[in-house]
Amino acid sequence: MTNIKKISIAGAGTMGSSMAETFAKYGYEVTLFDIFEEALAKAERLIEINQKTEVAEGLVSENKSKELMGRIKYTADMGNLADADIVIEAILEKIEVKHDFWRKLSKQVNKDVILASNTSGLSITNIAQVVERPERFAGMHWINPPHIIPLIEVIKGEKTSDETTAAVYALAEAVDKKPVIVKDAPGFALNRIQLAILRECLYIVEEGIATPEDVDRVMKYALGVRYACLGPFEVSDHGGLDIFYNIASYLFEDLCDEKKPFGLLAEAFDRGQYGVKSQRGFYDYSDGKDEESIMYRDQMYTKVSKCLFGES
Ligand SMILES: NC(=O)c1ccc[n+]([C@@H]2O[C@H](COP(=O)([O-])OP(=O)(O)OC[C@H]3O[C@@H](n4cnc5c(N)ncnc54)[C@H](O)[C@@H]3O)[C@@H](O)[C@H]2O)c1
């Protein structure tokens, strides 16, 4: 299996830009590709802003930060992706767009090059249908913002070889991430858990049990603190499985099992209120509150991550 030194990333949006920055931080030569020149310019600016925060937080020296940024090449020419040991795709989350990209790309690259998609939930087995030599293709699901959040889900499609899975896993560890190997199921593991939580939170509000603000407080001031340190199985072991068994016996049947988006989520969606990016979601982000909120998020994630893992 290839010894990974050069990395190509397709899609210079929210995820691709921050993934490029992460690899460059660890000394990899990175080529970042996008079909739009303006996306590349935006990615370069975003990486500079992220780097300012990292320098200010003492996570990287000013010199190292400059060196890191110098290791990223920006290109709108797909042909430049081929000169790499791994190509990671973070383009639009539409199966036809991903199929089109992978059909072309997998023919362009050398047969030993590892291929990975950062899809949030599309089937790796499905994407792999158009990939030449699909055994070298896996999912590599980063979590936003990728340069801060430690988890990476490595998804093994039906045809993904053990060797490919191991190589993607090793690459994640090489940039100090905490990978997990997950079967190719809808939502993988993270989004199944995340959406189960969101569904119950929406239901709690719908049933008048608590307000959105108080639901957020329950998560931030209790469950979030616990889960930053121990997972649900560990938390249950500490609480006592007899206790959790008894609670589950009467509570499971009362929990939400809705099969479609509903409540506040569906209402906001219908109004075109998509959250921070449209300055209105469950909360208001107008008059500069959008940027304030993003800065607050990144500072807090960085602090927590630094505290728990010694670095972002
Ligand atoms: N945003 C998240 O929180 C998040 C988290 C995990 C995974 N993902 C996944 O990562 C991928 C990218 O998401 P994002 O949030 O960065 O999206 P984004 O919209 O910010 O960026 C996507 C970029 O891909 C470019 N692009 C589109 N088609 C392309 C093509 N054929 N070739 C090259 N570039 C192309 C676009 O110009 C854009 O710059 C998606 O599959 C998404 O589901 C997103």
Residue 311, pLDDT score: 53
Q: How far apart are the CA of 13 and the centre of ligand 1, in A?
A: 5
How large a percentage of the chain has pLDDT more than 90? 88
Residue 59, pLDDT score: 84
Is a pLDDT exceeding 90 seen at residue 106? yes
Q: How far apart are the CA of 110 and the centre of ligand 1, in A?
A: 24
Helices (H), 109-211: 124-127, 162-174, 190-206
Q: How far apart are the CA of 187 and the centre of ligand 1, in A?
A: 17
Is a pLDDT exceeding 50 seen at residue 1? no
Atom of ligand 1 nearest to the CA of 100: 31
Active site residue 153: yes
Active site residue 191: yes
Check: CB of residue 15 under 8 Å from CB of residue 38.
no
Distances (CA, A) of 172 to 159, 178, 195: 21, 7, 25
Active site residue 99: no
pLDDT band at 289, cuts 50/70/90?
very high
- Mean pLDDT across the stretch 237-246? 98
Which residue from 109, 116, 108, 107 is spatially nearest to 135, judged by alpha carbons?
Answer: 116
Residue 298, pLDDT score: 83
Top-confidence residue, 5 or 1: 5
Q: How far apart are the CA of 120 and the centre of ligand 1, in A?
A: 10
| pLDDT per position as a tens digit, 175-218 | 999 999 999 999 999 999 999 999 999 999 999 999 999 999 99
| CA angle, 166 then 134 then 31, to 5° | 70
Residue 310, pLDDT score: 75
> Does the predicted model carry a pTM greater than 0.75?
yes
Residue 53, pLDDT score: 84
Give the whole-angstrom CA distance, residue 37 versus residue 123: 29
Residue 277, pLDDT score: 87
Buried-state track 190-224, b at ≥16 Cβ within 10 A, e below 16? bbeeeeeeebebbbbbeeeeeeeeebeeeeeeeee
Q: Which helix (H) or strand (E) holds 73?
A: strand 72-75
Q: How far apart are the CA of 92 and the centre of ligand 1, in A?
A: 4
Is a pLDDT exceeding 90 seen at residue 303? no
Atom of ligand 1 nearest to the CA of 93: 41
Per annotation, catalytic residue among 191, 236, 278, 293: 191
* Ligand 1, atom 7, residue with closest C-alpha: 120
- Mean pLDDT across the stretch 62-89? 97
| pLDDT per position as a tens digit, 54-70 | 898 888 899 999 999 99
Active site residue 147: no
| pLDDT per position as a tens digit, 134-164 | 999 999 999 999 999 999 999 999 999 999 9
The set of protein residues with a Cβ atom below 6 angstroms from ligand 1 is 10-16, 33-36, 39, 90-93, 97, 101, 118-120, 141-142, 144
Check: CB of residue 40 under 8 Å from CB of residue 83.
no
Residue 3, pLDDT score: 86
Check: CB of residue 116 under 8 Å from CB of residue 66.
no
* Ligand 1, atom 17, residue with closest C-alpha: 13
- Mean pLDDT across the stretch 252-258? 98
Check: CB of residue 114 under 8 Å from CB of residue 271.
no
Residue 214, pLDDT score: 98
- Mean pLDDT across the stretch 32-41? 98
pLDDT band at 295, cuts 50/70/90?
confident
pLDDT band at 305, cuts 50/70/90?
confident
